Amino acid sequence: MSQRDIVLAASELSHTIPHGTESVSILRGLNLAIGAGETVAILGPSGSGKSTLLSLLAGFDTPTSGSVQLAGQPLATLDEEGRAALRARHLGFVFQSFALLDNLTALDNVRIAAEISGLDQPRDRAEAGLRSVGLGHRLDHRPPQLSGGEQQRVALARAFVHRPPIVLADEPTGNLDQNTGAHIVEQMFSLNADAGTALVLVTHDPTLASRCSRQLHLHDGQLQTRPA
Amino acid sequence: MTPRTLTRLCLVLATAIAASTGALSERIEALLLTETAGTLGGDLVLREREAPSPEVSRTAQDMGLQIAQEISMPTLAFHGDDSELIGLRVVDSQWPLRGVVHTDNGAESSGPPAGSVWIATALADALQIRRDDELEIGARRFRVAAIADEAPGRGNAGFSSLAPQVLMNRADLETTGLLIAGARSRWYTYVAGEPDALAAFRRWAESASLLVEEPGEVRPEIGNALDRASRLLELATLCSLVLLAAVVFLLGRYRHPQWAYETAVLRSIGAGRRRIWKRLGTPWMTDLLASVAVGLVLTAAGQTLLGAVLLRIEDISLPSSSGLPYLVAALASFAVAGIQLPQLRRAIATPPALLFRQGDQDQAALATGSLWAAVSVLLVSSLVSHNPLIIATSVGVVLGGGLILSLAAWGVLRLLPEGGPLTALGQLQRQGWLTAVQVGALGLGLSILLLLGGLQSQIIAPWQAQLPPDAPNRFVINIQPDQRERLADTLAAKGIHDARLMPMVRGRLVALNGKAVSVDDFDDPETQRWINRDFNLSSAAELPADNGLRKGTFWEPDSNEREISADVYAVERLGLDIGSTLTLDIAGTPYQYTVTSLREVHWDSMQPNFFLVVPPRALPEAGASWITSYYQPPELHSLDRELVQQFPNLTLLNLERLISEIRRITGRALTALQFVFSFTLISGLLLVVSMLLGQLPMRKRQIAIMRALGISRKQLQKLIQAEFALLGFIAGAGCVVVVQVSLGLLASQVFDMPWKPQSAGIFLPPVLAGLLSGWGGWRLLRGATLTPPARLLSAT
C-alpha cells in the first residue's frame, strides 16, 4: 500500500484515562493504516478500547500520545474546528445508537450532513442517499417513527451522503436483530463498493468481520492480526 | 441547576410570595384603616336619629371596646346682628377615639373645653369673628377658643354636612336649650378596640338593626383607593403563583423520566411499591416541607425588614399581621407542589420493561398531570383571592397568554416558506411544537416584564395622575343661577379658569318602575336612609372622564329625552337596570326618567360627581343651584374669605386634608405593589430558565451530532445565535400584542380607567428580546460546543 493510497493512519497511538488517583492505559503505541476502499474489522472483548480507538481515529477526542492522519492531514496539528472541518469532507461515522436528530425528518437528518459538507443540491443528494438504502417512502418520517433498522439505514445514508474516503462504524448492528443487522451489513458493503469508500468496523460479530478484507484484534492496547 | 433544585426554589418562592403579599395586604389594610379611622374618629360608628339606648354602651363596654358620643344638628349661630347656619357637633370628653382635631393651636386629642367652642374658618369669615370673640348658639354665649377646620367624625365625610362646623363640649348642650323634641339631631356612637371585639360588636349591632359604618364605607374616595390597591396586589400575587405552578409542572415533566428509570431499576431488582414510594416520595416530601419552612422564615424576616424600612422612611409603624397569611401560604405551596404528584405516582407505576425502551414518554402522566395542575391552580387561586374576575384574569393572562403566543408562533412558522435544516428558520420550523412552547414561555416571561412597565407607565401613573398636584381642593355649593357668571369672573380674576360648574336640583324618589315606593319598601337601612331624603340630581352633556360606563349607552349632548344615568351605588340600592324608570318629585312636580346607562364613578378623582345624572335639557330649572370645584393654590389663601364676603350664601368646602390622605394611601399601595411585582418578575424568569433547562440534554445531543458530522464551531455559533434571536423576536412580537390586550383588560375591568393602545416603541421589545435571546441561547450552549463530541455523545 503506497503512502498515497492511505486514507487513515495511526502511529504509536496511546491513550490513558484517569481512574480515581490512578490512570488506566487503554491503547499502548498502536499502529494502523487503512487504504482506499479497504474494509477492516476491529474485534475485541468488551472494554478492550475498540470504541475509544474509533473515537480517536474520527478526531472526536485527542490521544495521550501518538498521531492520527486523516486524508494525509495529522489531526494533532488541528484544533477542534479543524478536525470538524476535516470530518465534514473526509469521514463518515455510523454510531451503534444511530445518533439521529429526533426533531428532524429522515431526509433532513441526511440533508444536514450534505449541507455541512458543502455539497451542491444537498436535498437531492440526501433523497438519493435514502432511496439507495430503501427508505424512499420514509423521507418525511422522524426517527421515533422509524424502526431500529430504518434508523440505522438513515445513519448509513448520512455517513455516505458526501462520499467520504472512509466511514467508521461503531457496532453498526449492535442494536439490531439478526435479519435487520444482515440487511444493514449488505447495504453498508454495497455503499462501500459503489463509492469506493474504505470501511472500518468495530464489531463483536465474527460473520460480519469475515466479510472484511482485514480483521484486526485489539488486545492489551495493541492491534494484532490474530486473536489473543 | 437540576430540576429538583429548581422545584425547591419555586416552592420557597411560592410560599414567600403568598405569605408576604397576604401579610403585607393585611398589615397595610390595617394601617390604612387605622389612619382612616383617624378621620372617622373611631373604628366603627353607629348613627341614629335619637339617643342611643344604654344597651349600646353597655354591650360595647362588655366587649372591651371604647366608646365616644357626638350629637350633631343644624342650627343658627349669631355674632352681633349677623347669623349663619352651622353644623353643630357636640362631643363628649372621650371623643375622638381615633385621630386628632387640627386647630390653629395645633393638633388636639380632644374636643373644646366646656364654655368654649371651636369654629370652622368659613364661619369665622362669614361672621367676621376671631379667636376669643363671643358666639351665640341657642340660649348660650360661647368663647371662640380656636379655629378648627379638620376634625374627625362622620359629620366630616362627603357632602352631607355642608354648613360650617362648630365643635361644642357635651357638658354645655343642655344649657343651650337646643336639644328639644323635634330637633333634627343625629346621634353618633363611635367605637374603637380590637378587631375581633369590633367584629363581634358589629354583628350584634346589625342584629339589633342599627346602622353601622366603617371607614371604607363612609369615605368612598378611600374605599376606592383601598379596593384598587388590593385588587392589584391579588392580581400580581396570583400571576406569580400561576407562573410558578406552570414551572413546577414543567419540572415535574423533566423529573418524570428519572423517577420512572429509578422505579424500573428498583423493580428489576425486586423492590415493592411501598419501598419505591419511600425511596422517591420521601425526598419529595422533605423538599416540600423544607421549602415551605424556608419560605415562611424568609417572609417573616422580610416583613420585619419592610416594617423597619417603612417605619424609618415614613415615621409610621405597620401593625403586625396575624398567622393566617402564613397558613394560607403553606397551603398554597402544598397545592403548587401537588402538581408534581400525579407524575410521581405514574412514574412509580412504571414496569421494569422501561429499561428496554428508554425515552418513551408517558402520555397518560401528561394528561392526568395537566388535569391535576388545573385543579391545583384553581385551589391556589381560591386560597389567595375571592374575586372570580381576578382569578380568571391571572389564570387567563398566564395560561391563555402562553397558549395564544404558542399557537401564534406555530401558525407563523407554518406560514413562512420552509428554511433549510442549517438555517435558524429551518431549525425553528423543524422543532415545531417545541418552538411554539418555547415562544409561549419566553413570551410570557417577557409579557410579565413589559406588563410591569406598562402598568407603571400606562395605568399606575395615570391612576396617580387622577390626583395631580392641582387636584381640586375647594368645593363650592349652593351657587344660584344668577351668581354663576359673577363667581366665574371672580375666580378667573384670580387665575382660576378650570372650575367645572354643574347644576344640582333636589328631588325625592316617589315611584320605581311606575310603582309608588316609600322607605318601607326597602329592607336595607342604608337604602332606607337614602330614600328618606332628597336626591341630588345633576346633568351632564357627556360622560365625565372620571366615570366608567358599565352598561347601556350614554346620551347625545342635545338629547331631549327624559333619560337618566345611574351610578353603581344607586343601581345596587334600588335594583336598577337599563329600562328601569324612576319618578322623582322635583319642586312638587313628578318627572319620570328611564335608565339608559349605568356608570361607576371614580370618587377618588375629587371632581364633583352625582349618583344620578340626566341630559342637560331634561333637568328641570326650578330650584336648581350650581356646584363647582377648583384648585386653589396656597398663595390664594385669602380667596376663601373674599368669596364668602362677596357671596354670603355660598358654602365652601376645603378638601386639602382629604386629598393628602388619598395621596398617602396610593403611595403606600404602590410601595406594596413594587414589592410584589419583583416576585412576579422572578417567577417569569424561572419559567424561561426551566424551559431552557428542559431542552438542554436534547440540545447538547444535537450539538454533539452536528460536531461529529463536521460542522464548524463558528457555523454552529451563528446557527444557535440566529435561531435563539429569531425565537426571541417572535416571542417579543407576540408579547407586545398580549401586553397591550392585557393592559386594556386590566384598565377597563380592574382599574376602571380609560385606556388607549400604545404604538410608540412597539418594535423595541421584539428587537431587544431577539438580541437578548440570541445572546442567552449562545451563553447556555457555548459550553456544549466546546466539549469534544465523544464526551457529549457518551453523556447522552
pLDDT digits (tens, 9 = 90+) for A100-139: 877 788 998 899 888 888 889 999 999 999 998 889 999 9
Q: Is the peptide bond before B757 cis (omega within 30 degrees of 0)?
A: no
The one-letter code for the residue type at B420 is G
Residue B789 C-alpha, separation from nearest chain A C-alpha, in angstroms = 5
How far is the C-alpha of B617 from the C-alpha of B613, rounded, in Å?
A: 12
pLDDT digits (tens, 9 = 90+) for B377-402: 888 888 878 778 778 877 777 777 78
Whether the Cβ atoms of residue B765 and residue B687 lie closer than 8 Å to each other: no
Higher-confidence position of B351 and B189: B189
- pLDDT(B89) > 80: yes
The residue whose grid cell reads 324608570 is: B581
Chain A hits for B712, Cβ within 8 Å: 81, 84-85, 88
Chain B hits for A112, Cβ within 8 Å: 421-422, 706, 709
Whether the Cβ atoms of residue B191 and residue B47 lie closer than 8 Å to each other: no
Higher-confidence position of B422 and B90: B90
Search chain A and give the residue with CA nearest B431.
Answer: A103
b/e per residue A24-60 (b: at least 16 CB within 10 A): eebbbebebbbbbbbbbbbbbeeebbbbbbbbbbbbb
Least Cα distance to B331 among B14, B686, B10, B675 occurs for: B14
DSSP B169-196: EGGGHHHHT---TT---EEEEEEE--HH
CB contact under 8 Å between A60 and B714, yes or no, is no
The residue whose grid cell reads 344615568 is: B565
Whether the Cβ atoms of residue A57 and residue A29 lie closer than 8 Å to each other: no
Set of cell numbers at residue B716: 454552529
Q: In percent, how much of chain B has pLDDT > 70?
A: 80
Whether the Cβ atoms of residue A178 and residue A149 lie closer than 8 Å to each other: no
CB contact under 8 Å between A116 and B711, yes or no, is yes
How far is the C-alpha of B349 from the C-alpha of B276, rounded, in Å?
A: 10
> Rounded to 10 degrees, what is the CA torsion of A121, A123, A125, A129?
180
pLDDT at B531: 72
- Taking each helix axis as running N to C, give the angle between helix B424-431 and helix B401-415, from 0 to 180 degrees, rounded to the nearest 10: 120
User: Chain A interface, mutation test: which of B709, B712, B792, most A Cβ atoms within 10 Å?
Assistant: B709
Q: In percent, how much of chain A has pLDDT > 90?
A: 38
Give the closest of B359, B430, B790 to A104, CB-based. Answer: B430
How far is the C-alpha of B247 from the C-alpha of B402, rounded, in Å?
A: 12
Q: Which of A206-220, B146-160, B514-528, B613-627 has the highest mean pLDDT?
A: A206-220
CB contact under 8 Å between B712 and A112, yes or no, is no
b/e per residue A132-158 (b: at least 16 CB within 10 A): bbebeebbebbbeebebbbbbbbbbbb
pLDDT digits (tens, 9 = 90+) for B102-126: 888 888 888 999 999 999 887 888 7
How far is the C-alpha of B246 from the C-alpha of B623, rounded, in Å?
A: 63
ipTM for the whole complex? 0.71
pLDDT at B366: 65
pLDDT band per the 50, 70, 90 thresholds, residue B161:
very low
Least Cα distance to B390 among B745, B754, B28 occurs for: B745
pLDDT digits (tens, 9 = 90+) for A9-45: 999 999 998 877 788 888 999 999 999 999 999 998 8
DSSP state of B418: P
The residue whose grid cell reads 503506497 is: A2
Instruction: Note whether A76 contacts B: Cβ–Cβ < 8 A.
Output: no
pLDDT at A62: 86
Other CB atoms within a 10 A radius of the CB of residue B2 amount to 12
Q: Which of B154-158, B640-644, B759-763, B788-792 has the highest mean pLDDT?
A: B759-763
Look over chain B and give the mean of its residue pLDDT values, rounded to a whole number: 79
Whether the Cβ atoms of residue B567 and residue B610 lie closer than 8 Å to each other: yes
Q: Is the peptide bond before B96 cis (omega within 30 degrees of 0)?
A: yes
pLDDT at B181: 62
How far is the C-alpha of B443 from the C-alpha of B404, rounded, in Å?
A: 10
pLDDT at B290: 95
Q: Where are the beta strands (DSSP E) in B540-588?
A: 547-552, 563-567, 581-586
pLDDT band per the 50, 70, 90 thresholds, residue B666:
low
Other CB atoms within a 10 A radius of the CB of residue B288 amount to 21
- pLDDT(B766) > 50: yes
Search chain B and give the residue with CA nearest A142.
Answer: B430
Instruction: Note whether B790 contacts A: Cβ–Cβ < 8 A.
Output: yes
pLDDT digits (tens, 9 = 90+) for B393-437: 777 777 777 888 888 888 888 888 888 777 878 878 877 777 887
Q: What is the mean pLDDT of residues B70-92?
A: 84
> Rounded to 10 degrees, what is the CA torsion of B4, B8, B14, B19?
170
CB contact under 8 Å between B714 and A87, yes or no, is no
Ramachandran region of residue B567, left (φ > 0), alpha (ψ -120 to 50) or beta?
beta
Q: Where are the beta strands (DSSP E) in chain A?
A: 6-19, 22-35, 39-43, 65-70, 73-74, 91-94, 166-170, 198-202, 214-219, 222-224
The one-letter code for the residue type at A101 is L
How far is the C-alpha of B401 from the C-alpha of B588, rounded, in Å?
A: 58
pLDDT digits (tens, 9 = 90+) for A72-109: 899 999 887 788 788 888 999 888 878 787 778 899 88
Lowest-confidence range among A81-95, A167-181, B353-367, B727-741? B353-367
Coil/strand/helix, residue B528? helix
pLDDT band per the 50, 70, 90 thresholds, residue A198:
very high
The one-letter code for the residue type at B164 is P
- Taking each helix axis as running N to C, give the angle between helix B3-40 and helix B273-314, from 0 to 180 degrees, rounded to the nearest 10: 40
- Taking each helix axis as running N to C, give the angle between helix B273-314 and helix B341-348, from 0 to 180 degrees, rounded to the nearest 10: 160
Whether the Cβ atoms of residue B531 and residue B519 lie closer than 8 Å to each other: yes
User: Which run of H or of E encompasses B512?
Assistant: strand B500-512
Instruction: Note whether B356 contacts A: Cβ–Cβ < 8 A.
Output: no
pLDDT band per the 50, 70, 90 thresholds, residue B757:
confident
- pLDDT(B157) > 50: no
DSSP state of B520: G
The one-letter code for the residue type at A59 is G
pLDDT digits (tens, 9 = 90+) for B256-290: 888 887 777 677 666 677 778 888 899 999 999 99
How far is the C-alpha of B581 from the C-alpha of B592, rounded, in Å?
A: 7
Instruction: Note whether B420 contacts A: Cβ–Cβ < 8 A.
Output: yes
Instruction: Note whether A116 contacts B: Cβ–Cβ < 8 A.
Output: yes
Search chain A and give the residue with CA nearest B790.
Answer: A60
CB contact under 8 Å between B422 and A91, yes or no, is no
Instruction: Note whether B545 contacts A: Cβ–Cβ < 8 A.
Output: no
Least Cα distance to A188 among A134, A125, A224, A142 occurs for: A134
- pLDDT(B295) > 70: yes
pLDDT digits (tens, 9 = 90+) for B590-629: 889 999 999 988 776 667 788 889 998 888 877 778 888 8
- pLDDT(A217) > 80: yes
Residue A173 C-alpha, separation from nearest chain B C-alpha, in angstroms = 17
Q: Are strands B116-119 and B500-512 parallel, antiparallel or unpaired?
A: unpaired
pLDDT at B663: 66
Q: Are strands B547-552 and B101-103 parallel, antiparallel or unpaired?
A: unpaired
pLDDT band per the 50, 70, 90 thresholds, residue B142:
very high
Lowest-confidence range among A56-60, A64-68, A161-165, B347-351? B347-351
pLDDT at B256: 84
Search chain A and give the residue with CA nearest B422.
Answer: A112
How far is the C-alpha of B746 from the C-alpha of B455, rounded, in Å?
A: 9
Whether the Cβ atoms of residue A122 and residue A114 lie closer than 8 Å to each other: yes
pLDDT at B158: 35
Residue B750 C-alpha, separation from nearest chain A C-alpha, in angstroms = 43
Pinpoint the alpha helices (H) of B609-655.
639-646
- pLDDT(B309) > 70: no
pLDDT at B160: 36
Count of A–B CB contacts within 8 Å? 80
DSSP state of B477: E
Instruction: Note whether A6 contacts B: Cβ–Cβ < 8 A.
Output: no
Higher-confidence position of B488 and A1: B488
Q: Which residues contact B457 (CB under 8 A, 6 or more apart)?
A: none
- pLDDT(A157) > 80: yes
